[in-house]
Amino acid sequence: MATDVKVPTLGESITEATLGQWLKKPGEPVKADEPIASLETDKVAVEVPAPVAGIMGAHAVAEGDTVNVGAVIAVIEAGSGAAAPAPAAAAPAAQTPASLKAADPVPEPALRSDAAPAAATEEDDGSPLTLSPAVRRLVLELGVDPSGIKGTGKDGRLTKDDVLAAAKTAPKAAPAPAAAAAPSATAPAAAATGERREERVRMTRLRQTVARRLKEAQNTAAMLTTFNDVDMTAVIEARARYKDLFEKKHGVRLGFMGFFVKAACMALKDIPAVNASIDGDDIVYHDYADISVAVSAPNGLVVPVIRDAQSLSVAGIEKTIGDFGKRAKDGTLKMDEMKGGTFTISNGGVFGSLMSTPIINPPQSAVLGLHRIEDRPVVRDGQVVVRPMMYLALSYDHRLIDGREAVTFLVALKNAIEDPTRLLIDL
């Protein structure tokens, strides 16, 4: 008796997704609730669990196909036998990731699943490994053998940190002589010096959504960016003084984002227009601060939301951001965590950005851009001194927020960061 595998409910207003990757092949044994496929939605990647234990049956859709919620994508046959032998057509999978990258062109699904070396998809006991899309992509990029890596994730599954650690310690392997001598019908010979190559890869659904929303923001909002700078001396000293005690008590590192989120909440309270949005001919003001925090994920930028950030302590904010960052790398953020938000903070400084003009995240009306900290000469009390300075950028919808309000918001934020005592006494 076969059991249908259907596309699960993906969240409010989301009716379709893209079949990003099959994690189980026909004939392989599966356990109940074991991930068998990965779906890419407009915001996050979602794993499809097996409804029952049995043998993976036929795939009803291919990787890259669009599927609707409730659609049947595969079947699971009754039984618990060993996996069926791999078909002969799978032989080209034994080529190395490097040769795959040289192929011209190579579709994205091949880079993410079937292109993995045969030894990289089986454990020592011969049973197949189950890799998440992010981990599988990293395995291919780094050219490591996952069968020799000890997983630290749930049920012993590999995480990105496991793969990165293994890549750092693994010696660079020389190409096998047999592989060099064997003719290849699917990968061209090594490119000659100066040869130009191209690779065409289909945009992921997440990247398509990001591109569409950013362009919509430019087309709809009257965007303007105002800049200021902030002296980070006081925050750096406070962090250096209390970071060990903070981590010991709260179990999380004390970073700069906790200070900026608290300072932003105070400034939003004083300048409510920056925390508002436009709905038709109405302005919607919010008496709460749901702060969207831009986080880098394997498939692009995601923006989870810190709910009621105005009510959280610095420790609560740091814990929430740390959890978001970890789960963004693992691809386990939930749909509800990406919805809403009244104001966005994007920290390009972690990548070395000196200055930028961030684009607002509709229907929000403003976004704060943080940048790298660098020592610069400034004048204090008539003397030129060196201070750790950071540029701040506030991009906003000029239809709702006037220049006076934007500047006032940045000054309030600057004052709170330069004198963190203000955060304690709400000044």
- Reported confidence tier of residue 223, pLDDT bands at 50, 70, 90: very high
Q: Pick left, alpha or beta for residue 10 (phi over 0 → left; psi -120 to 50 → alpha; otherwise beta).
A: alpha
Strand partners, 296: 301
8 A C-beta contact, residue 391 and residue 227: yes
Regarding pTM above 0.75, the answer is no
pLDDT digits (tens, 9 = 90+) for 6-39: 888 776 557 778 887 788 888 888 888 888 888 8
- Reported confidence tier of residue 262, pLDDT bands at 50, 70, 90: very high
Task: List domains and CATH numbers for the chain.
Answer: 2-181 (2.40.50.100), 222-425 (3.30.559.10)
The whole-number pLDDT of residue 13 equals: 59
Encoded tokens for 90? 């799978």
The whole-number pLDDT of residue 177 equals: 47
CA distance 122 to 85: 13
Q: What is the distance, to the nearest Å, from the Cα of residue 7 to the centroid of all Cα atoms in its chain?
A: 22
Closest CA to 232 of 95, 389, 127, 346: 389
Given the DSSP bridges, would you call strands 366-380 and 383-397 parallel, antiparallel or unpaired? Answer: antiparallel
Helix H or strand E segment including 138: helix 133-142
Task: Tell me what the mean pLDDT of segment 330-342 comes to.
Answer: 82
pLDDT at 417 over 80: yes
Catalytic residues: 398, 402
CA distance 151 to 135: 11
Q: How far is CA 213 from CA 41, 208, 243, in A?
A: 14, 9, 38
The whole-number pLDDT of residue 155 equals: 65
Q: What is the distance, to the nearest Å, from the Cα of residue 251 to the centroid of all Cα atoms in its chain?
A: 23
In sequence order, the 6+-apart residues with CB closer than 8 A to the CB of 125 are: none
Phi, psi of 231 (to 5 degrees): -85, 115
Percentage of the residues of the chain whose pLDDT score is greater than 90 = 37
- Rg from Cα positions in the chain: 25
- Reported confidence tier of residue 219, pLDDT bands at 50, 70, 90: confident
Encoded tokens for 21? 């990757």
The whole-number pLDDT of residue 156 equals: 72
Q: What is the distance, to the nearest Å, from the Cα of residue 340 to the centroid of all Cα atoms in its chain?
A: 17
pLDDT digits (tens, 9 = 90+) for 179-192: 444 444 444 455 56
pLDDT at 171 over 70: no
Average pLDDT, the chain: 79
The whole-number pLDDT of residue 94 equals: 39
The whole-number pLDDT of residue 412 equals: 95
Task: Tell me what the mean pLDDT of segment 148-157 comes to.
Answer: 75
The whole-number pLDDT of residue 80 equals: 64
Given the DSSP bridges, would you call strands 35-40 and 45-49 parallel, antiparallel or unpaired? Answer: antiparallel
CA distance 194 to 206: 34
